[in-house]
Chain A
């Protein structure tokens, strides 16, 4: 997917430059674009390092476990099919908590463990279970308290208030999560109804 997007971007740019009679800008852009990337990385490095450090302390202080315990009562009703799969449920909650704290590196292993635990109980090996779909909805919506890289980016470009968007980002993330969960719920109920219907007939 990114493959074609990137090739089309470059080819489109070269084509537009040729049509507009500005073919010389292509070579210049390659140099200046690369330069921008280097400067940006250097500027982001400091803020990103700070948050990575804080994330590590949060992990070692056991904040993940505390948050997971607080979240369990809210997440359990979203996964009715996992009532008898405690291991999967535990990893689902840890995955969500790690995402919330911005511990991306910790979130993925927990998420994959949850997927494996659900796959073991899956009768159709190649079809996603209800629990998998809901877990993926939570992950693709990616709700997080501190959007680390955005703060670093804003600081790198000299923002007066790099954290200005933290509040609205969390709210927008909540909206995305809700919409995802509602779509997921509708599809699950449709499928359930479809199955019951076919059994009756």
Chain B
């Protein structure tokens, strides 16, 4: 348990230090490159905005209308038996389909329950621990014209399911 939080504390500072030091020693114009790169942050944010608007409006309509509550009530007895927080179910289902959509759902969970609550930690881990299977398969196989993708969809979705379950268990036993 302590090892993992220690890892979290040290990983970021060490990574930043290693990157900057290597760049500096190799005579990279570190500051200029940093500025060029951080401009991309602006582009990414702008590109993300329409997705966040569309998904957050959809989530807001779903929750204000009482549909989300009804779904949680329906699923809760089943999920609570295995200790799965029902609030993260929509996230787990959306994660393989849309990165920005899932990010918006994570945002909604963090806003409602707080980023440092157990549900908030689980949602953060779920969002970060896997990538958007359907999108990646479409882009990569589409680029070379492959139509028979064999077992890659199944393998990707099983990996996603494993990531969701692992996120829950690791948060519960290591940082929760």
Contacts and interface: CB of A to CB of B under 8 A. Distances in A.
A60 B148 contact: no
Nearest to A120: B144
A36 B116 contact: no
Contacts of B149: 128, 133, 136
A37 B34 CA distance: 27
17 contacts: A2-B98, A52-B38, A112-B140, A119-B145, A140-B160, A141-B130, A146-B15, A150-B127, A157-B111, A163-B8, A165-B121, A166-B8, A168-B175, A169-B125, A173-B130, A180-B155, A183-B158
Given A9-B62, A124-B148, 20 more contacts: A2-B97, A20-B65, A29-B64, A37-B52, A41-B52, A54-B15, A58-B22, A60-B28, A61-B23, A115-B144, A128-B149, A136-B155, A140-B160, A149-B127, A150-B128, A157-B115, A168-B125, A171-B166, A176-B159, A187-B154
Contacts of B55: 6
Interface in B6-62: 7-9, 11-12, 15-16, 18-20, 22-23, 26, 28, 30, 33-42, 44-46, 48-49, 52-62
B159 A126 contact: no
A65 B174 CA distance: 33
Interface string A66-105: 0000000000000000000000000000000001000001
Contacts of B59: 9, 33
B61 A165 contact: no
B159 A165 contact: no
Interface of A: 1-2, 5-6, 9-10, 12-17, 20, 22, 25-26, 28-30, 32-34, 36-38, 40-41, 44-45, 48-58, 60-63, 99, 105, 108, 111-112, 115-116, 118-119, 124-128, 132-133, 135-137, 139-142, 144-147, 149-150, 153-154, 156-173, 175-180, 183-184, 187, 191
Contacts of A136: 136-137, 140-141, 149, 152, 155-156
A25 B153 CA distance: 39
Contacts of B56: 33-34, 36-37, 40
Contacts of A178: 162
A176 B35 CA distance: 34
Most buried by A among B26, B58, B121, B143: B58
A126 B124 contact: no
B37 A56 contact: yes
B79 interface: no
A128 B141 contact: yes
Contact of A9 (B61, B70, B131): B61
A131 to B, nearest CB: 11
A185 B39 CA distance: 41
Most buried by B among A44, A112, A177, A180: A180
B15 to A, nearest CB: 6
